[in-house]
Structure 1
Amino acid sequence: MSKSIIIRDAKPSDAKIILNFITELAIYEKEPDAVKTNEQAILDTLFSEGATAHSIICLDGDEPIGFAVYFYNYSTWLGKNGLYLEDLYVSP
């Protein structure tokens, strides 16, 4: 029986999961030592008041299987807002 795929806004309680996905992504990219962040930094930058970056979590049923981090940008040439997708990762 197939579970339901759910995509939802990340919550502060997801900081550890996000850090795990960041680490998995760095290992996949063969850059495991490049990760310099920690749970507190993720809490401070993604979930504090006025945060400019945001995250979503993908779940298969209740199990987190991926995440994305994004922020909004602005094109002066087009005169409109856009969205920049920093990372999109789904765990193998």
Structure 2
Amino acid sequence: MIDLADGAVLRPARPGDEPGILACIQALAAYEREPDAVEATTADLTATLFGPSPATFAHVVEHDGRVVGIAVWFLTFSTWTGRHGIWLEDLFVVPEQRGKGYGLTLLRALAAVAAERGYRRLEWSVLKWNTPSIALYDAVGGRPQDEWVTYRLAGEALDAFALGERELRA
């Protein structure tokens, strides 16, 4: 746990944080212009973050008993380095708490986890129009990977492909 200057604390998520984490995820979805896209529930977060074999993790910033910032992440693996890394799925600070360094502190906490554990990478994606986040990521030394294109197979297309119902198109 890290005490921050204004009475807030940064810490790993713990059971009971699920409603605050979900509220941040929903606010992030609204910010990213997808307000109806969140399907996750507090029960999903409980199972994922605190179940018998968690594969996803979170750090939170808590201020006055309320979760006001999150970093949700999971492990990756690089065949090139032969080591794990961290994929930052979501980094979010509620609008009224921005400008206090919480986002930077969350990002630094994940960098510290990676360094302590010998992980070789901390990676994430960002929407091209999200200039405030891009400025932060540039400032800390992050670099865009322009030579890579992210692909996603989801929903009905995923199901159809898995069942062999999708014909290949050249």
Length-normalised TM-score, structure 2:
0.51
2:79 to 68, 76, 81: 76
Shift of 1:4: 2.6
Secondary structure, counterpart of 1:7 in structure 2: strand
Q: What residue is the counterpart of 1:14 in the other structure?
A: 17
Q: Is 1:67 paired with 2:70?
A: yes
State the 1:84 CA deviation.
Answer: 0.9
Per the normalisation by structure 1, the TM-score is 0.90
Whether the aligned pair in 2 keeps the contact of 1:3 and 1:61 (CA below 8 Å) is: no
Quote the residue 2:123 is aligned against.
Answer: none
Q: Aligned partners of 1:17, 1:66: CA distance in 2, in Å?
A: 9
> What RMSD over aligned residues (CA atoms) do the two structures have, in Å?
1.4
After TM superposition, give the deviation of residue 3 of structure 1 in Å: 1.9
Gaps in structure 1 of 5+ consecutive residues: none
**1:1-92 mapped onto 2 (5 Å cutoff):** 3-92=6-95
Deviation (angstroms), 1:5:
3.4
In the alignment, residue 73 of structure 2 is paired with which amino acid? Answer: Y
**Aligned residues, how many?**
91
What percent identity do the matched residue pairs reach? 37
User: Structure 1 or 2: larger helix share?
Assistant: 2
Shift of 1:62: 3.7
For the 8 Å contact 2:20–2:66, the answer to whether it is kept is: no
Q: Which has the larger radius of gyration?
A: 2
Q: In the TM superposition, what is the alpha-carbon distance from 1:61 to its structure 2 partner?
A: 4.9
Q: Relative to total residues, which structure has the larger strand share, 1 or 2? A: 1
- Displaced runs of 4+ in structure 1, greater than 6 A? none
| Distance in 2, Cα, partners of 1:81 & 1:41 | 25
Report if the CA contact (8 A) 2:18-2:42 is conserved: yes
Q: Output the CA distance in 1 between the equivalents of 2:65 and 2:32.
A: 27
Distance 2:45 2:6 in 1: 29
SS at match of 2:81: coil
Residue segments in structure 2 that go unaligned for 5+ positions in a row: 96-170
